[in-house]
Each structure stands twice: as structure tokens, then as C-alpha cells.
């Protein structure tokens, strides 16, 4: 006989910590549905995210380098998959719900606009006075309203706990607003894991892309970033002289391992000290319980400042992105004047949500390359990545 959802829920209660979020204790979904037969609620949510159109579009959205700049450089999709893998790793070590942590991680960037955070900044400015734009909140709108796959409800109808994780998602990059219906001080430990896994991923893998593009150098990193210098010494001590690609890979892998170990060990101490006994105890606690140690946090801040100075605002990265987001602004103003040219689903919702929001939804859903193609079609001018 196939293993049922009830059996899977029973296994969770046997192997997870008492303060984990059990799938059998979900607050449910906004729209009533029959429960899954052979999957937990969060496994169903994960599958729905993976099969969504918004998830597929992440392949062609900028992470750091403008999409199309290089075949090996990360996109928003590869970043998301890496965040999910690290989330499962940390959640498993802490005896938490790996399916929930992974699902939140897979969905956390669904609402990202084209051209990364710079594109988000442009849309936020253009939507000032019209409800604003913030990608975490837009991720929620996608899973609650904008995906149109099911005959009985809008959106993906994900469980309350996944939507809570999206509403409260934040990293060093993010400034989420408060969301009605998710008013607890904190989210589940699984959602907190997705937050930190996001940071671990972009710190380490932005280093990888920066080195691959030759905008960063190992010599300069060793002289200015303690996290890198320490990892490089460990790799040299263990393996001796390695070829460039292998050496860089193992240094970055070592950085990720150090980050994960620090988060697991420090979080375990914080959880024990807090004395929480359930997932709702976690939500009512005064501060997050998944966190770096103070020493690691200080070293990460040093790394973050270095990346901003030497990578994110390097002219090779910054100028093409600035030019690209300029196109985004011009398209926004064009569609305000020509609303019949926005996508069908946005047009259908225009009267309900207003012209500015309909245009914003349409643009936010575009991939980088689709923005460039639309711009070329409308303005008869080609944008090239340079």
C-alpha cells in the first residue's frame, strides 16, 4: 500500500523537534480543498510552486549580472534552487520541517521584477502614491492572486505557513512591509531559515560569479575579507596547491559550510535558551531564533560591504543594469498611455486594481529578455549587454 499523508504526518511527529511546524497542524488554505493523498500539505505546496509560471520565469531574471551576460553566471532561478538546498540542510540539522523550509525558499523570489533589485527600486518609485512595489509582497500577490492555473480559486492556494514565510521574508537586501493576517512577532523557524539561507547563498555565490567574471580577485579578497582569508588557508592546508577552478570551488564551499555550521550551532543555543516548546511559541518570541553568532555576523557585514564596493557597484555590473532599468521606466510610462497593449490577464483585472497596478503587475512579471524585446518592438531601438 502507498504511504499516506497521515503516515507522513505521523513520521514528522516522531522525528521532528516539538517546536517544528508540523504539516498536520497547518492553519489551512484560504480556499477549501480536499487534502493531498500521498503528500503532506507542504509537499503539495512545493510542487505547486515548482510548476508555476512565475517559477519558470526566474530562469531569465537577473541575480547580479544582467541576464545573458554569461552562460555560467547565476540567474534568479539558480539562486533560488541553491537557497532551497541550503534551507533543507539547516532545517534537517535542527530537526525542523525540511519540506516547509524548502517551499518557502523556492517561492521567496517569485515576485522579483526584471533586472534584480535595481528593477525593484524603479517600480517602487513609479508606484509611489499607487500602493508601492516590494518584491516580497508581490510574491504573495502572485501565489494568492496572479497565478491562474486552477478552476476553483485564484493563485496557488498555498498553506498559511508558506504564505506567512513569504510575508515576513527579509534579508539584508529587503525591507518588507507588515502584512495583515501575519501579525505575530516572528514567523516559523523554517521561514527564518529561508531568510538566512538566502543571505548565505548570495554572499558565497556572488563571490563565485565575481571571480568568474574577473571583477574580483583572490589576492584582494584574501587581503580584505576575513571570511575568504580563513577559508583559503583551510583549503590550502588540506589540499595543498590546487588548479584555479578547483581551489575557488573548495574555498567557496568551505565558506558555505562555515556559515551553515555557525547558524546551526548558534540557533540551537538560542532555541534552548528561549525555552520554546511549539511553533506558536516561536511566533510569539520577541526576536528571531535562527541567527548567526555575533562574530560571524560582523564578518558577514565586512563581506557585504566589500561586495557592494567591488562587485554590485562595479561599472561592468552597474552600468548595464542602470541602462536596462531605464528601459523599464520608459515602458511603464508607455503602457500607462496605451493600456490595451498590456497582457491579457492584467487587462482583465484593470478595472478592479487600477491602471498603475495593472501595468506594474505586467512589467514585474516580465523576464529581462522580454523587457528588452518589448522595448525594441515599441521604440525600434535595440539594447545590447555591454
Cell of 15: 522525528
Tell me, yes or no, whether 130 lies in a domain. Answer: yes
What pLDDT score was predicted for residue 231?
95
Q: For the range 357-363, what are the long-range contacts, defined as Cβ-Cβ under 8 Å and sequence gap of 24 or more? A: 357/127, 357/130, 357/131, 359/332, 359/335, 360/123, 360/126, 360/127, 360/130, 360/133, 360/332, 361/141, 361/146, 362/335, 363/113, 363/114, 363/123, 363/328, 363/331, 363/332, 363/335
Q: How many domains does the chain have?
A: 1
Tell me, yes or no, whether 324 lies in a domain. Answer: no
Tell me, yes or no, whether 249 lies in a domain. Answer: yes
Q: At what angle do helices 244-274 and 294-307 cross, to 10 degrees?
A: 140
Tell me, yes or no, whether 366 lies in a domain. Answer: no
Range of the domain at 255: 5-175+187-318
- Distance of alpha carbon 236 from alpha carbon 251, whole angstroms: 9
pLDDT tens for each residue of 39-64: 999 999 999 999 999 999 998 887 66
Tell me, yes or no, whether 254 lies in a domain. Answer: yes
Q: What is the CATH number of the domain that holds 14?
A: 1.10.3210.10
What pLDDT score was predicted for residue 346?
86
What is this structure's pTM?
Answer: 0.91
pLDDT tens for each residue of 67-107: 545 444 678 898 999 999 999 999 999 999 999 999 999 99
- Blockwise average pLDDT, block size 10, the chain, 386 residues: 93 97 96 94 97 92 58 77 96 98 96 86 93 91 91 94 85 47 81 95 86 89 94 94 91 95 98 97 95 95 91 75 82 93 86 93 91 88 56
Taking residue 270's Cβ as centre, other Cβ atoms within 10 Å add up to 17
Tell me, yes or no, whether 356 lies in a domain. Answer: no
Tell me, yes or no, whether 312 lies in a domain. Answer: yes
Tell me, yes or no, whether 137 lies in a domain. Answer: yes
Amino acid at each position: 500500500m502507498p504511504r499516506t499523508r497521515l503516515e507522513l504526518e505521523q513520521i514528522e511527529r516522531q522525528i521532528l523537534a516539538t517546536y517544528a511546524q508540523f504539516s498536520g497542524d497547518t492553519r489551512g488554505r484560504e480556499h477549501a480543498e480536499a487534502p493531498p493523498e500521498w503528500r503532506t500539505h507542504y509537499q503539495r505546496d512545493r510542487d505547486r510552486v515548482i510548476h508555476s509560471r512565475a517559477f519558470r520565469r526566474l530562469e531569465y531574471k537577473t541575480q547580479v549580472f544582467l541576464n545573458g551576460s554569461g552562460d555560467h553566471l547565476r540567474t534568479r532561478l539558480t539562486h533560488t534552487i541553491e537557497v532551497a538546498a541550503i534551507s533543507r540542510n539547516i532545517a534537517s540539522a535542527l530537526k525542523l520541517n525540511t519540506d516547509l523550509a524548502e517551499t518557502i525558499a523556492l517561492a521567496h523570489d517569485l515576485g522579483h521584477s526584471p533586472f534584480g533589485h535595481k528593477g525593484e527600486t524603479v517600480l517602487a518609485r513609479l508606484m509611489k502614491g499607487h500602493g508601492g512595489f516590494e518584491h516580497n509582497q508581490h510574491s504573495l500577490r502572485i501565489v494568492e492572486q496572479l497565478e491562474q492555473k486552477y478552476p476553483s480559486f485564484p493563485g496557488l492556494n498555498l498553506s498559511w505557513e508558506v504564505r506567512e514565510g513569504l510575508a515576513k521574508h527579509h534579508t539584508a537586501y529587503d525591507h518588507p512591509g507588515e502584512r495583515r493576517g501575519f501579525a505575530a512577532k516572528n514567523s516559523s523557524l523554517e521561514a527564518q531559515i529561508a531568510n538566512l539561507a538566502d543571505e548565505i547563498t548570495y554572499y558565497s555565490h556572488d563571490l563565485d560569479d565575481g571571480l568568474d567574471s574577473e571583477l574580483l580577485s583572490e589576492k584582494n579578497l584574501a587581503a580584505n575579507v576575513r571570511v575568504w582569508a580563513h577559508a583559503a588557508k583551510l583549503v590550502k592546508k588540506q589540499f595543498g596547491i590546487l588548479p584555479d577552478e578547483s581551489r575557488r570551488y573548495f574555498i567557496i564551499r568551505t565558506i558555505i559550510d562555515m556559515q551553515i555550521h555557525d547558524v546551526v550551532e548558534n540557533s540551537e543555543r538560542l532555541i534552548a535558551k528561549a525555552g520554546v516548546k511549539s511553533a506558536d511559541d516561536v511566533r510569539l518570541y520577541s526576536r528571531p531564533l535562527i541567527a548567526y553568532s555575533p562574530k560571524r555576523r560582523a564578518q558577514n557585514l565586512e563581506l557585504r560591504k566589500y561586495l557592494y564596493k567591488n562587485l554590485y557597484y562595479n561599472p561592468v555590473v552597474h552600468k548595464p543594469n542602470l541602462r536596462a532599468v531605464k528601459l523599464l521606466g520608459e515602458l511603464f510610462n508607455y503602457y500607462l498611455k496605451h493600456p490595451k497593449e498590456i497582457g491579457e490577464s492584467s487587462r482583465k483585472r484593470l478595472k478592479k486594481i487600477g491602471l498603475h497596478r495593472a501595468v506594474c503587475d505586467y512589467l514585474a512579471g516580465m523576464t529581462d529578455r522580454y523587457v528588452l524585446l518589448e522595448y525594441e518592438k515599441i521604440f525600434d531601438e535595440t539594447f545590447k549587454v555591454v
